[in-house]
Structure 1
């Protein structure tokens, strides 16, 4: 009885007025490692410096890093627009012709608008999805580890870039039951404020437990809960699940088997519950073993540098007892290393 009363009291504290709530984006604010100079040059000055970097004897990669690696998304957009106006050429095209290798991939991904970047990453992931479910983690990251506003922007840009919707391409490319889950995740628009109802959390924890117990992981209720509830509500549901049934929900999902659906669901839960932990694991997996998975390493740092790389670095240290910065430095080299470390706030 006391436990029930305690939970009800807890619920009262978690119910906030609209003026007190925070959005998912606000929740992550201040966790970025991107460093901006106190006095930011004008887009014209930045464009001129980039042009000079391209037109000298050989490309001045340090100048490219210095300019683009210390500008926000909105500042980079203005640089792209200004560069085209001044020189009648695309900055992205020029970067493509001047740079090479993983450095070029990283700089170009970073220079895109975030929504355009993620739309391109999603499209590439769907092309690669036949090679394994791990490629679909990009779709999960976009749907579950970013704000609803960003997901909507990605869907809009995707349509304009590829003459089809993200939903259409998932439906065409991905087979059931993964298709059903991914379509639910990318099609919804979550409420983007910190509103939590403990009664609902307990009820939906029970629904999820029943689906896991009966191994019906693709049940409509499972997809509906994971794709429509706000991030804070889902985190409370996962907490209730652990309290009520003894195990973390991802652990119980693992007991259902090691298939693609189980793998994808665990990824969904991780991206909702602890995106910093998910991306710490992405970085670690890209570094350990034979060779480096530069595409995954680049994606993790480039897509999160303006969001939560500070938290990712802390989580990495906690999980692996190693320094993320040291591990990235030890596994990369040259301009590629310098650019990643700039985004991680280690090079001014």
Structure 2
């Protein structure tokens, strides 16, 4: 097959034998191809380009149109004629200046007037190919036949580094395009107004909006209707569905603060909730939670924890709060002398650092750090420390285990289920789903479907985002 304006080649690429390059003379000069000419490409005196006014005017180029592109003075030459529309390809055109034309069918570049050569002298072209058996100039030799590891330019690095791969967004809920809180609250108002409640409309709306699109609905509802959205939803909904909906219209830090409040107040303390939140949130998030806690409940989070817990477990929780604030504010923490080494290390180091420490600990001691914690501690302190270790080591696997325990056995721990599904739906829910299937042999979606029901189930499955 040949193209208009390009010379036909005889036989295409010659068959090759052995390694690269195989044939005598490298790339063989072919009739009508690039002739091997002296002078290189192109040898012009005075740099590039040598002519005044832009590119050299050669016979057969594309003459530019008058008044159009390119400009006349000092740049590309402006000459009458424009771009001609040749029939049958691009034959050499007669004209002064402009770009050189494609070569005629029977010759290569520089083989006919108007070719790509040095103006006013001998035609210039590409130099001839290398001598037989020689590598291409300025390029390293090619590998031998069927090499085990081709190594251009001296081989692979002695210590290759795998580039970091960004996993991207791992949440199950994404921004809804063009979402408008004023229009959204109209949907909610219509769903609650009149006789009965359209729960399905609430599920579809809230289940397709991210937190930053849901939270503005609270102020938009008050602006539009002069009423409190949370109170209206409470009056229309019941049970776990109500709790889930109310959780979804709070900001993450407000929701965490309210969950910590519920875990601390009353007769008993939900230690697992305290550990879950304080060990899995970033330093900046914990600082925001403590600020909101003080503003909402008139008491610092640290004081609330201190009054409701005791012993080393209290020290662990207080450390998680204090260290976050100190690290976030100053980037460094000084651990008090009265705290255990486990407490000091687990609360004052970054997650990547601690993962490396856990690995080194196992190599040195021959025992997993989690088992060591269980050997050395007991009760709430053991549970708290183990939870911190698990969360640091593999956060998605930690939350997968928490979800499984919440739904396994008689009854469902709906408070835990709601909290994790709401707080992780825009963080790492896709990773949690993968960890769940790997650990328990069935999908999180399937387990939620079998363990919950009604509108509560529908909205949880929206947060889950799909089956695996």
Q: TM-score, normalised by structure 1?
A: 0.80
The equivalent of 1:109 in structure 2 is 247
Q: Which runs of 4+ in 1 moved over 6 A?
A: none
CA distance in 1, matches of 2:454, 2:350: 42
Q: Establish whether residue 93 from structure 1 lines up as the match of residue 228 from structure 2.
A: no
Higher relative contact order (CA 8 A, sep 6+): 1
- Pick from 292, 307, 315: which aligns with 1:157? 292
Counterpart contact for 2:171–2:428, Cα < 8 Å: yes
Q: Structure 1: which 5+ residue stretches go unaligned? A: 1-8, 15-19, 196-217
Q: CA deviation at 1:307?
A: 0.7
Q: CA deviation at 1:220?
A: 3.6
Q: CA deviation at 1:275?
A: 1.6
CA distance in 2, matches of 1:287, 1:279: 13
- Pick from 187, 202, 206: which aligns with 1:49? 187
CA distance in 1, matches of 2:272, 2:441: 25
Q: CA deviation at 1:178?
A: 0.9
Q: CA deviation at 1:67?
A: 1.6
Counterpart contact for 1:44–1:79, Cα < 8 Å: yes
After superposition, the C-alpha distances for 1:213-264 in whole angstroms (9 at most, x for unaligned) are xxxxx84432222212112111211121122211220111112354221111
Counterpart contact for 2:361–2:368, Cα < 8 Å: yes
Q: Establish whether residue 67 from structure 1 lines up as the match of residue 202 from structure 2.
A: no
Tell me which moved more, 333-342 or 235-244.
235-244
After superposition, the C-alpha distances for 1:175-195 in whole angstroms (9 at most, x for unaligned) are 112111100001222758xx9
CA distance in 1, matches of 2:409, 2:309: 29
- Pick from 154, 169, 174: which aligns with 2:309? 174
SS of residue in 2 equivalent to 1:188: helix
**Gap change, CA 1:78 and 1:29, over 3 Å in 2:** farther
The equivalent of 2:434 in structure 1 is 314
CA distance in 2, matches of 1:93, 1:332: 25
After superposition, the C-alpha distances for 1:266-297 in whole angstroms (9 at most, x for unaligned) are 01111222121111111111111112221111
Q: CA deviation at 1:322?
A: 1.3
| Higher helix fraction (1 or 2) | 1
Tell me which moved more, 302-311 or 181-190.
181-190
Q: Report 1:1-348 matches (<5 A).
A: 30-37=169-176, 39-127=177-265, 131=268, 135-189=270-324, 219-346=339-466
CA distance in 2, matches of 1:338, 1:65: 7
Which structure's CA Rg is the greater one?
Answer: 2
CA distance in 2, matches of 1:242, 1:28: 28
